[in-house]
Amino acid sequence: MPALFELEAAFAEAWADGSFRAELDGLLRDYAGRPSPLTECHRLSEELGVRVLLKREDLNHTGSHKINNVLGQALLAKRMGKARLVAETGAGQHGVATATAAALMGLRCEVYMGEVDMARQELNVFRMRLLGAVVRPATSGSRTLKDAVNDAMRDWVATVGDSHYCLGSVMGPHPYPWMVREFHRVIGSESAVQCRSLLDGASPEVVVACVGGGSNAAGIFSGFSEDPNVELVGVEPAGGAAVGHGAPGIVHGMLSYLLQDEWGQVAEAHSISAGLDYPGVGPEHSHLADSGRAVYPSVTDAEVVEAFVLLSRTEGIIPALESAHALAWVSRERATLAGSTVLVNLSGRGDKDVAQMMDVLADRL
């Protein structure tokens, strides 16, 4: 708790400091490449009968939305006098972003990654090591993202004097859900302005994003949550549908919807995407679900594979498997969505998933 109190006070002070915000904005612009563009998908839209717009977070430096939050937290760590970043990662994108920021700012970096995820995301493991990070396997439990979070938290509480835990999603104990959401608010703010410009002052009818912990969704939702005419859709994996099939529970210092058994023990999640292999969602997503402001349907691995191929072949854009969940829902619901404008957060690019998909699609391609 003292570590969390220290972090909350430091973030509140930094977020109110114009010089901190200006330095972060400069890094997001000149290093990460923001603003990320809005792409209208003409061929995909024609095939689905839905006007599809993509928020291109895949074009950020390191290939996903993760860099927004990591640059903010790394700046905050330096401001707090910390010399070392600790992180967890599932698909590896948050780990790569953390290792990148650490290299940029001269910080030591240690990343915990589930043993299973290390095997299916070897490219990102190499990228992290190339950037100077130490990558440690999480070997307990399901050996995926949940277990990497466990190990990273254990490290942080033992080394907090010198270390900052760079948590990668809108989850965990306060102030992390709030802090990570604020660092990703830039996605929603940009999207709202870009959509008004493209749509003659209007907003899209539907905003869709994938949800594991839910940081990319929280970021883009923040730009539209005050507009009651915009439907917010967070798409979960069928094997990790915490809102759809879970119940309120406590894990990693937060009360949220959680996959658990009848005794309250955390159940294992499954997804074809390593980045969504998490048994809960952030507490803000749980609140949005309870209040009815957002809905959280799920899609199957088979639907995700179809969406992965569909976007690749219609638009020449290979999506991350995480982002393909959002696209899969749009494809499945095309009849219901017919004629409407849908904004999809393309949270990451699919380079990291190509080796895995070579096996999945071996008979087809």
Do the domain assignments include residue 177? no
Do the domain assignments include residue 47? yes
Q: Which residue has the tokens 């439990």?
A: 141
Q: Which residue has the tokens 């291109």?
A: 56
For residue 244, the SS3 value is helix
Which of 113, 134, 165 marks a domain boundary? 165
At residue 319, the pLDDT reads 98
319 and 197 within one domain? yes
At residue 150, the pLDDT reads 93
Vertex 179 angle, CA 178 and 184, to 5°? 100
At residue 2, the pLDDT reads 92
Q: What is the pTM of this model?
A: 0.96
For residue 76, the SS3 value is helix
203 and 89 within one domain? no
43 and 153 within one domain? no
At residue 146, the pLDDT reads 86
Catalytic residue among 65, 94, 184, 285: 65
249 and 196 within one domain? yes
307 and 278 within one domain? yes
Do the domain assignments include residue 13? yes
At residue 190, the pLDDT reads 98
Do the domain assignments include residue 176? no
Do the domain assignments include residue 174? no
**Phi and psi torsions of 15, nearest 5°:** -70, -25
Cis peptide before 248 (omega within 30 of 0): no
132 and 110 within one domain? yes
Q: Examine the residue annotation and report whether 65 is marked as an active-site residue of this protein.
A: yes
CB 61 within 8 A of CB 36: no
Parallel, antiparallel, or unpaired: how do β-strands 294-295 and 231-237 relate? parallel
7 and 92 within one domain? yes
> Into how many domains does the chain fold?
2
Which of 130, 165, 200 marks a domain boundary? 165
User: Tokens in use for 247?
Assistant: 């119940």
For residue 98, the SS3 value is helix
Vertex 217 angle, CA 174 and 244, to 5°? 85
Do the domain assignments include residue 178? no
Give CA–CA dist 124/113, Å, rounded.
11
At residue 140, the pLDDT reads 87
145 and 263 within one domain? no
49 and 193 within one domain? yes
Domain that holds residue 135: 2-29+66-165
17 and 99 within one domain? yes
Do the domain assignments include residue 275? yes
143 and 48 within one domain? no
Do the domain assignments include residue 8? yes
At residue 250, the pLDDT reads 92
For residue 132, CA distances in Å to 30, 83, 100, 105 come to 22, 14, 9, 12
**Phi and psi torsions of 215, nearest 5°:** -70, -40
CATH code for the domain in which residue 293 is found:
3.40.50.1100
Q: What is the enclosing helix (H) or strand (E) of 314? A: helix 301-315
220 and 290 within one domain? yes
Consecutive sets of 10 residues in the chain, 365 residues long: mean pLDDT of each?
96 98 98 98 98 98 97 98 96 94 98 92 94 95 88 95 97 97 98 98 98 96 97 96 94 94 89 88 96 98 98 98 98 98 98 93 91
